[in-house]
Amino acid sequence: MKSFLRVLTYGKPFGKYWPSYLVLSVLSVLFGIANYALIAPLLTVLFEPDTLSGELIRPEYSFSVSYVTDLFRFHLGQIKAQEGNLMALVYISVSLLAASLLANITHYLSQRILVSVRTRLMKNIRNDLFQKISRMHIGYFHEQRKGDILSSMSNDVNEVQNSVASSFHIIFRDPLLILGFLSMLFYMSPKLTLVTLLTLPVSALLIGRITRALRSGAEVSQGLLGKLLSHFEEAISGIRIIKAFNAQRYVRDRFGSINNQHRQATKRLYNRQELASPLSEFLGIVIAAAILFYGGWLQFRGELGMSWPAFVVYIGFYWRVLEPAKSITRAYAMIRKGMVSANRIFSILDVPLEIKKDPQAFPVNEFRESVQYRNVSFRYKGSDTYVLRDINLTIPKGKIIALVGPSGAGKTTMVDLLPRFYDVMEGEILLDGIDIRKYKPGDLIGLMGIVTQEAILFNDTVANNITFGLENVPRAEVERAARIANAHDFIMEMEDGYETNIGDRGEKLSGGQRQRLAIARAVLKNPPILILDEATSALDSESEKMVQDALTRLMQNRTSVIIAHRLSTIRDADQIVVMNKGRIVEQGTHSQLLSCHGMYKHLCDLQVFG
C-alpha cells in the first residue's frame, strides 16, 4: 500500500484534476443508474400497459429516489393517456438514449482527466529515475547489471503504467458505481440484497489467493528480464569480439537458457493472471443464479415486494454491481503485479548518494596554487582490498605530472578521485589548500577537462560531440579545437562535415578518429586542469605525433595529469610518479628516474606502462 501511495504522489497536483473528475464520475454513475432504471417502465409499457392508467397524480417534491421515479411514471402515464402506448414507448426510448448518451459523455470526459494524470505520473517517474541514475556515483554502475537498469527504465516503467496507472479509473470510479447500484438494490429489496452481500466474501477470498501468487511470479519474471537485457547489451557492444572468437553458439546458448527460464516464469504468471477473470466470472454467475432462484422463490410466495419488471431491473442492477466488482478484483491483481515493478524502480530511487554535496559547499571558478593528495587511501565498496594506500603527492599549478606503472597499480583510480567520481576512504585531496569535498561538485569538475582511455562519444553530430555540455559555441571555436586535435581534416571529408551523425558510440569512426574527437572536446572546454588517461593510446604513430604536439602546446601553463603507456608522451613531464600495487614507489624527472635503475627504468626497457 505504501508503494502504491508513493506512485500516486507522482501525479500531483491532484487539486487540478480530482474535483472535476469526481463531479463527472458521480454524474456518470447517476446517468448509468437512470439508464438501467428506465428498463422497468419500458417493460411495463410493453407487457403491462394497463398498470399505468391510474398513475396520473403528480407526486409531492422530496429529495429522494422515489420522488424521481414517481415523477417519471406520472409523465409517462400522462403521455399514455393522451397519446397512447406508442408515444409512451417513444418517450421511454428517447429518455433511455439520453441517459445512455450523458452517461458515456461524462465517462469519457472523466477518462480524459485520468489520462492527464497517468501521463503526468509516468513523465515524473521517468524524470526522477533518469535524474537519479545520472547522479549516481561511478561505482554504482560497476556493481549493477546494465540490463537491470535498462529494464527498470523501460519495462518496469511501462509495467507501472499498464497495470497501476491504467487501473486508476477502476480504483476511483468503480467504487462509486458499486455504491450507487448497491444503494438502488437496498432501496428495491433490502432482504434480497443482504443475502447477495453474504456471498461476496467467498469470491473475494479466492481472488485474493490468486493475486498473492501473482506478486511472487512477477518478481521472478522481472529479474530474469533484467538478465535478458544484460545479455542483449553485451551481445551488441561486444559483437566484434564474439565474431572474432567464433563464440556465437556460446552466446546464443547462454541467452537461450535465460530466455527459456523467463518464458516459463512468465507463462506461470500469465496463467495465474488469466485465471482471475474466468474465476470471478463463474463466481458471479453462481451468485446470480442463487439470487435469481431466491428472488423467484420470494416472488412466487408474494414476499418479494416488487413487480416482475422491477425484478428484472433488480437483476440488471445486480449485474452492474458485479461488473465493477470484477473489474476491481482484476485491477487489484494487476496492481499487485505492477507493484513489483514499482518497487524495483523505488529500489533505484532510494539508493543513497555516496558522492554527497556539502550543505555549506561554496563555489570555485579558478585554480590558483596546487592539488595535494594527503595520506589518501581508497578501496571500492564491498571490497577489503585497498586500491590506493597512503598516497601523498603535490601537483603544482602549471606543471605536468605523469603517472606510470604496471596494470592494476591504481593510476586511473587515483585520477578518478580528483573530480570526485569516487570519494576517498581515508585522507583528503586539497585544491588550493581546501578539501575538494567542500566545493560545489559542478564547479569542481568544471575546472577539469578529461580524456579517457576509451573515447566516449554519443549518437549525435560531430559538432555536438565536440561541444558536449557547452552552449552557444561559435563554429570557429569548434573548428579550432578540432584542428588542435588533428581532427578537422577527416571531419571535412565526411558526408556532412561537422553535422555528420557518428552513430552509436561513434561506431562510424575509426578508433583514432574517435579519440581525436574526445581530445577536441577537452580542448574546447579549455580547463585549467587537464586529465589525460592514455589519451593517445588509440592513435597511429603519425597521428599520435601530431596530436601529442597539439597537446604539448595545450598543456603549456596548464596543470596536467597524464596516465601514459608510451615513453614519448611522458618524457618531458615535470614530474613522473611511478606506482605499483596502489603505492607511489618512485618520483622524479625522466633522467632522474633512469639514473635510479628502479622500476621506471625497468618499465622503460620493456616500453610497457600498463
Question: How confident is the prediction for the chain on average, in pLDDT?
Answer: 77
pLDDT digits (tens, 9 = 90+) for 238-256: 666 676 667 777 777 877 8
Q: What are the strands, taking DSSP E only, across 256-412? A: 370-378, 388-396, 400-404
Would you state the pLDDT for residue 131? 84
* Cβ neighbours, 10 Å, residue 99: 19
> Does residue 11 sit in helix, strand or coil?
coil
Indicate the pLDDT class of residue 427, thresholds 50, 70 and 90.
very high
What is the structure's pLDDT at 282?
A: 72
Per-residue model confidence as pLDDT tens digits over 522-561: 888 888 898 888 766 656 666 667 667 666 766 767 888 9
More confident residue, 204 or 387: 387
Distances (CA, A) of 539 to 315, 511, 608: 82, 7, 17
> Would you call 437 exposed, middle or buried from its count of C-beta atoms within 10 A (0-12, 13-18, 19+)?
middle
Q: Which of 23-32, 107-116, 174-183, 371-380 reaches the highest mean pLDDT? A: 371-380
pLDDT at 547: 65
Query: One fold for both 144-351 and 456-526?
Result: no
367 versus 249: the higher-pLDDT residue is 367
Superfamily of domain 456-526: P-loop containing nucleotide triphosphate hydrolases (3.40.50.300)
Of 49 and 576, more confident: 576
When pLDDT is cut at 50, 70 and 90, the band that residue 374 belongs to is very high
Res. 585 pLDDT band, cuts 50 70 90: very high
What distance in Å separates the CA atoms of residue 610 and residue 603, rounded to the nearest whole number? 9
User: What are the domain boundaries of the chain?
Assistant: 13-118, 144-351, 456-526
**Could you write out the three-class secondary structure of 23-78?**
HHHHHHHHHHHHHHHCHHHHHHHHHCHHHHCCCCCCCCCCCCHHHHHHHHHHHHHH
Which of 217-231, 276-290, 352-366 holds the top average pLDDT? 352-366
Residues 6+ apart with CB under 8 A from 499: 461, 462, 463
Does the pTM exceed 0.85?
Answer: no
71-88 pLDDT per residue, tens: 666 666 667 667 766 777
Please report which confidence band the pLDDT of residue 293 belongs to, taking 50, 70 and 90 as the band edges.
confident
Q: How confident is residue 434, by pLDDT bands cut at 50, 70 and 90?
A: very high
Superfamily of domain 144-351 in CATH is ABC transporter type 1, transmembrane domain (1.20.1560.10)
Query: How far is Cα 551 from Cα 79, in angstroms, rounded to an integer?
Result: 97
Query: CB count, 10 Å around CB of 222?
Result: 24
Whole-number pLDDT of residue 332: 73
Q: How far apart are CA 290 and CA 379, in angstroms?
A: 70
Residue 300 has pLDDT above 90, yes or no: no
Q: Which residues pair with 578 in a beta bridge?
A: 404, 586
Contact 67/332 with Cβ under 8 angstroms?
no
Mean pLDDT value of segment 502-514? 80
At residue 243, the pLDDT reads: 67
* Mean pLDDT across 345-362: 83
